[in-house]
Amino acid sequence: MNTRSSLPQIHADVDAMVQAHVKPGMHLHLATNPSRPNALIHALARNFRHKNPRFTISTTALQGSGHALALAGVIERAITCFAGDNYPSPRPNRIYQNLLAGKPFVLEQWSILSLVQRLMAAALGSQYAVTRSLVGSDLERAKEDVLFTIPDPAQPSESITLLRSLAPDLTLVHGVCADDRGNVLLCAPTGEGHWGALAARGGVIASVERIVPRAVIDAHADRVLVPGHRVVGLCEARFGAHPQSLRTCGIGDIPSYRDDYAALLEIVERFRTAPDAEAWFRDWVAPPRGHDAYLAHLGEERLHALSAVPERKAAPAPQGEPTVAERLIALAARQIVDLVLERDYQTILAGIGISHIAAWVAAKQLERRGVHVRLLAELGFYGMDPHPGDVYLFSQLHMGHCEQLAGVAEILGCYVAGQASKCLGVLGAGEIDPKGNINSTRTNTGKYIIGSGGANDIASTVDCLLVAREGKNRLVREVAYTTSPGRNVLGVVTPFGRFGRTTPEEPLSLSTWLPVGSEGEATPSASVERWSDWPLPVESVSTEADIRDDERALIWEIDAEGVYRR
């Protein structure tokens, strides 16, 4: 007779819970909902630092507090889609530069949707998942969990790939609240949703802002995403997602809190050198510092400020000549507007960085012309009207200005890759070649960049526009690694003009040119030769109009602090 209680074990803190349930050598999944279980990540790092055997870690991204795991040496193998920093825009982190050589751990790279699809398959009791992502990219190659690719029986011109499901031993989650039965409540947007939690063979250990009476959970049963019978360990961890945000919907009178941008930037800065990174670990993670000490180090005044909506700052009037970044945003917005009007796209999915600012500008311009196009973000944002003054793509402040809040499966799976999709993807890239292939994975010297994130899922399934800074190291003859295939790329926008093509088989060529005044190039061909490694000559090029005052005013209104436009 099985007498084991189905109720979870409730622990005093995250360290006690990690010590009780996590065993060396496990496969641990770090859920993205869309916040990550950062208090648990810190506990994992400090309790297992330099111990063997190490863990297999799966997660959609290693960023922010996740760097503590790499620094602690607890990862043997990582199954992920991104490793680096993403605030305010994606950038490499020094600690991962030798990942492709297996240091500090072995890397297995996926796209966000394909990883979530593998978790979904395991949660549904299937050994296999089917995806339209990965095809034609280097992400598809040399993986034992990519079984085969075949023509799609429903659309022979397209291909589908069979993947093995992904079932971790244990999944780590941070939720809004839970009851003593283990039911964990999450608020949308949900990122990967409950799939990682339900895929775990051994169940879930969850930290929450507060353990609440059962009546609170029962009153919000429509929101409970992790059912109690899957939760084996539970504890409270106030601000357990910090430095990321957490949306609570006011349930149980638990306050929401915003991303701590200062903390995220501190991580970026202090990981530039090994001694500074070690000092950051000592200051914020290492024993005897537990989660209570972490909060005390932050201070109640700082924590309280994160729960308040900041005052909107007035947008400054544009000054001086347009910067290179402003030129790029304005030209990209023009191209987005042209494509939406020409092809009747209903949604725009923009990747993080200058590409999402261009998409936001274009959406405002279209709205002024009476055309409503919905902005999407991959972690669960649909119909965004970005909160004024906050340019971070995944800011919690945008969540209150959305037509719908969902998850990765809905956004990347249904609204982007779905059968009835009329979506335009707007993406950035580390490298782009004339075929439209995108590289955000490795440099030509073998150093790791950041990985795919959701870019491969978008480029694999819908029409795309690429937004790229100029430079021979960006516009290259051939990418060093195909992170995302170029078959759906309609064009590329640079600060000196727009590139396009009429068929996917043609190479991209300059179609419009923006002169740069008396010190700039005298001809379109001269610009292409100076700022790219793409082939010449350039023919049939029209001249772009100068950046208008109204375009600059809108860019400055959206990016008041100049995070992207400088």
Asked if 396 and 243 touch (Cβ cutoff 8 Å), the reply is no
Rounded to two decimals, the pTM is 0.96
Q: Minimal CA–CA distance to 494: which of 520, 467, 463, 527?
A: 467
* Confidence check: pLDDT of 520 > 80: no
* Confidence check: pLDDT of 5 > 70: no
Q: Where are the beta strands (DSSP E) in 252-377?
A: 347-350, 374-377
How many alpha carbons lie under 13 Å from residue 488 in its C-beta half-sphere?
25
At 399 the pLDDT is 94
Please list, residue by residue across 521-557, b when 16 or more beta carbons sit within 10 angstroms of its beta carbon and e when fewer do. beebbebbbebbbbeeebeebeebeebeeebbebbbb
Contacts for 158 with CB less than 8 Å, ≥ 6 apart: 132, 151, 152
How far is Cα of residue 453 from the mean position of the Cα atoms in its chain? 5
Range with lowest mean pLDDT among 5-9, 219-223, 331-335, 540-544: 5-9
Q: Minimal CA–CA distance to 93: which of 263, 355, 274?
A: 274
* Confidence check: pLDDT of 557 > 90: yes
At 534 the pLDDT is 94
What tens digit of pLDDT does each residue of 287-329 get?
888 999 999 999 999 999 999 988 877 889 999 999 999 999 9
Distance between CA atoms of residues 288 and 124, nearest Å: 41
In the block, residue with structure tokens 């190659």: 141
Q: Phi and psi (nearest 5°) for 525?
A: -60, -40
Q: How confident is the model at residue 2 (pLDDT cuts 50, 70, 90)?
A: very low
Mean pLDDT of 426-452: 96
Mean pLDDT of 411-436: 94
More confident residue, 523 or 426: 426
At 1 the pLDDT is 35
Q: What angle do CA 342, 346, 349 make, to 5 degrees?
A: 105
At 3 the pLDDT is 43
Mean pLDDT of 453-477: 96
Q: How confident is the model at residue 197 (pLDDT cuts 50, 70, 90)?
A: very high
Joined together, the tokens standing for residue 153 give 């029986």
At 6 the pLDDT is 79
At 158 the pLDDT is 83
What tens digit of pLDDT does each residue of 333-357 get?
999 999 999 999 999 999 999 999 9
* Confidence check: pLDDT of 39 > 50: yes
Q: Helix H segments across 428-492?
A: 455-459
Q: Are strands 381-382 and 231-236 parallel, antiparallel or unpaired?
A: unpaired
Joined together, the tokens standing for residue 136 give 């034609």
Distance between CA atoms of residues 56 and 335, nearest Å: 43
Joined together, the tokens standing for residue 329 give 């945003």
Q: Specify the 3-state DSSP secondary structure of 552.
A: helix
What tens digit of pLDDT does each residue of 130-164 get?
999 999 999 999 899 999 999 887 777 789 999 99
Q: Specify the 3-state DSSP secondary structure of 298.
A: helix
At 517 the pLDDT is 59
Q: Minimal CA–CA distance to 532: which of 505, 559, 507, 554?
A: 507
What tens digit of pLDDT does each residue of 164-192 get?
999 999 999 999 999 999 999 999 999 99
Q: Which helix (H) or strand (E) holds 451?
A: none
At 514 the pLDDT is 93
Asked if 361 and 386 touch (Cβ cutoff 8 Å), the reply is no
At 194 the pLDDT is 97
Q: Are strands 55-58 and 106-109 parallel, antiparallel or unpaired?
A: unpaired
Q: How confident is the model at residue 519 (pLDDT cuts 50, 70, 90)?
A: low
Q: What angle do CA 216, 222, 223 make, to 5 degrees?
A: 75
At 540 the pLDDT is 85
Please list, residue by residue across 372-406, b when 16 or more beta carbons sit within 10 angstroms of its beta carbon and e when fewer do. ebbbbbbbbbbebbbbebbbbbbbbbbbeebebbb
Domains of the chain: 9-127+165-300 (3.40.1080.10), 324-558 (3.40.1080.10)
Distance between CA atoms of residues 102 and 93, nearest Å: 15
Asked if 453 and 61 touch (Cβ cutoff 8 Å), the reply is yes
What tens digit of pLDDT does each residue of 117-129 get?
999 999 999 999 9
Mean pLDDT of 557-565: 94
Q: What whole-number percentage of the chain has pLDDT above 70?
A: 99
* Confidence check: pLDDT of 367 > 50: yes
At 4 the pLDDT is 52
Range with lowest mean pLDDT among 188-192, 239-243, 475-479, 526-530: 526-530
Q: How confident is the model at residue 90 (pLDDT cuts 50, 70, 90)?
A: very high
How many C-beta atoms surround the C-beta of residue 312 within 10 A? 11
Average pLDDT of the chain to the nearest whole number: 95
Q: Helix H segments across 212-290?
A: 214-219, 261-270, 274-284
What tens digit of pLDDT does each residue of 47-81 get?
999 999 999 999 999 999 999 999 999 999 999 99
How many C-beta atoms surround the C-beta of residue 29 within 10 A? 30
At 385 the pLDDT is 96
How many C-beta atoms surround the C-beta of residue 292 within 10 A? 13
Contacts for 455 with CB less than 8 Å, ≥ 6 apart: 111, 351, 427, 429, 438, 440, 483, 484
How far is Cα of residue 433 from the mean position of the Cα atoms in its chain? 23
Mean pLDDT of 270-297: 96
How many C-beta atoms surround the C-beta of residue 138 within 10 A? 21
DSSP code of residue 386 = P
